[in-house]
Amino acid sequence: MHDQTQIQQLDQLAVLVKLLGVRSGHQIVYSNMAKDIQVGVETVKRWCEALSNLHHGLLLKPWFTSVSRSLRKEPKWFLRDWAEIDAVGDRAETFVACHLLKAIEGWNDLGYGKFHLGYLRDKDKREVDFIVIRDGKPWFLAEVKHAHTAISDSLRRFQHQTTAPFAFQIVVVAAYVDGDCFAKPRSPLVVPAKTLLSQLL
């Protein structure tokens, strides 16, 4: 009976991995996923954390300090293997997430400060894809678009609320531009992904 229970759990874990495979860049509602695979909410949380620890994906928590009506619990999930994602928008966001995480882990390892990656979302469903925290303070915001170049209203709003000195709308397909994205604090700036990511680590 014990062996049968373990086999059933492996099957349920496989279902979870499949569900997460099509939800990269989206919030995880643990209660909904628990119903889908017929396990407890705490089990889903534990499995998602284990998959993150095994570098299958990344759990990104919301940043809520100084953000009015912010969400505080629901994480977002990103696959580490962004190239396997079919949806163009999800693939673009996950691509940037992986590069930001790589930079943050590198900066932390090199002792450049204490860096943290999160995202922003309020109860009115306004969202910015990423916020980079440096030594406990917002450093820059990043909203990812595949090709769209009109500045996001949410990016402007959350930069004002967090007082982050930099805010970028990252356009994945835009051609490289030779310029320093961090030359001086400024209002939201549209930047090619090739430009910004080359200036990280």
Q: How far apart are CA 155 and CA 159, in angstroms?
A: 6
Segments forming the whole domain that contains residue 36: 2-198
Q: Residue 4 contacts by C-beta under 8 Å, 6 or more apart in sequence?
A: none
How many domains does the chain divide into?
A: 1
pLDDT tens string 80-137: 998 889 999 999 999 999 999 999 999 999 999 999 999 999 888 899 999 999 999 9
Distance of CA 186 to the CA centre of its chain: 23
CA distance readout (Å), 107 to 53, 158, 170, 196? 19, 24, 21, 16
Q: What is the mean pLDDT of the chain?
A: 92
List alpha helices for the chain, DSSP H.
2-21, 30-37, 41-53, 88-110, 153-162, 193-198
pTM (predicted TM-score): 0.91
> Which residues lie across from 142 on neighbouring strands?
130, 168
Mean pLDDT for 155-159 is 95
CB 77 within 8 A of CB 55: no
Mean pLDDT for 42-66 is 92
> How is residue 136 written in tokens?
């406990």
Residue 4 has pLDDT above 60, yes or no: no
Mean pLDDT for 195-199 is 97
Find the angle CA(80)-CA(107)-CA(59) to the nearest 5 degrees.
Answer: 30
